[in-house]
Amino acid sequence: MITISNLSKQYFGGNQALTDMNLTLPRGEIVGIFGENGAGKTTLMKCVFNFMKYDGTITLDGEPITHKNIETLSFATCEHSFFSHLSPADHRDFYARNFPKFRGKRFDALMTFFELPTDRHIGKFSVGQQNQFEVICALSQGADYIFMDEPFAGNDVFNREDFYKVLLGILEPTETVILSTHLLEEVEHFISRAVLIRKGTILQDVQMSDLEDNGKTLMQFVKESYAYQSDRVSRALDALTEDTQ
Ligand SMILES: Nc1ncnc2c1ncn2[C@@H]1O[C@H](COP(=O)(O)OP(=O)(O)OP(=O)(O)O)[C@@H](O)[C@H]1O
């Protein structure tokens, strides 16, 4: 289990991105992390991976996350972690040599699913294809906790929807996915739990089965939780129209 306790992060210059956040991520869940732009989703993930200093504690099965256990975690990010001058085949060799739990069969199956060429430099892929490859690596590393931050930016709707179905079919019960995305409706039937972040704090943490029991869609729940102002658009348009008069 990943345990996040009293996590706070202030960026250089004073920007408070996370404030006293507490969250537990047991094995086997598929967790959607949602929140407005700038809510702190990416910062949260980067803290888990120790990419930046933070206040508070983050542990994995009671141990701090260091080079000793970091292999248990993988991260698909739009900032990309692959080597762009190498090909997928080169990466496959690299992972097979360096990650004892590397899932070669899954790597091959996902490469085929996304129809990616194995021998071209990844730097020559389109942005959407690069994001697909990033996800393939994160899912094939052999990690127990797979973090994905907006994994399918630039991907068409068929690739996204079919991918979630494939993912549900291939994930093993011990694997945990933590997925940050703005595409609520696409992932609502894929996730088991939804965590809503607002201004660096946890606003809601709900099991999808509880939402279903209450007859609510994820979108309805999110709009209620954030007190979405349905007149926001008309107010903005009114203000703009007034400006031009
Ligand atoms: N390198 C940085 N330096 C200073 N402030 C930063 C930095 N990166 C992020 N922030 C700020 O921290 C806050 C949280 O940003 P973060 O990227 O974690 O949000 P997010 O929820 O992932 O947003 P989005 O959905 O737009 O990607 C924002 O106010 C952002 O401006």
Residue 204's pLDDT is 95
Q: Tell me which H or E stretch contains 205.
A: strand 201-207
Q: What is the pTM of this model?
A: 0.92
Closest residue to atom 11 of ligand 1, CA basis: 17
Q: Distance (Å, rounded) from C-alpha 225 to C-alpha 197?
A: 10
Nearest atom within ligand 1 for CA of residue 35: 21
**Chain segment 170-206, per-residue pLDDT in tens:** 899 999 999 999 888 888 988 999 999 999 999 999 9
**Chain segment 15-26, per-residue pLDDT in tens:** 999 999 999 999
CATH 3.10.20.30 fits 2-244, yes or no: no
Domain spans, the chain = 2-244
Quick check: CB of 40 below 6 Å from ligand 1?
A: yes
Quick check: CB of 17 below 6 Å from ligand 1?
A: yes
Quick check: CB of 230 below 6 Å from ligand 1?
A: no
Q: What is the ipTM of this complex?
A: 0.98
Closest residue to atom 3 of ligand 1, CA basis: 11
**Chain segment 80-137, per-residue pLDDT in tens:** 889 999 999 999 999 999 999 999 999 999 999 999 999 999 999 998 899 999 999 9
Closest residue to atom 25 of ligand 1, CA basis: 37
Quick check: CB of 52 below 6 Å from ligand 1?
A: no
Summary mean pLDDT of the chain: 92
**Chain segment 210-223, per-residue pLDDT in tens:** 999 999 999 999 99
Long-range contacts of 97-105 (CB under 8 A, 24+ apart): 99/71, 99/141, 99/142, 100/142, 101/71, 101/141, 101/142, 101/143, 102/140, 102/141, 102/142, 103/139, 103/140, 103/141, 103/142, 104/140
Q: Give the pLDDT band of residue 163 (cuts 50, 70, 90).
A: confident
Quick check: CB of 14 below 6 Å from ligand 1?
A: no
Contact between 176 and 25 (Cβ < 8 Å): yes
Contact between 5 and 60 (Cβ < 8 Å): no
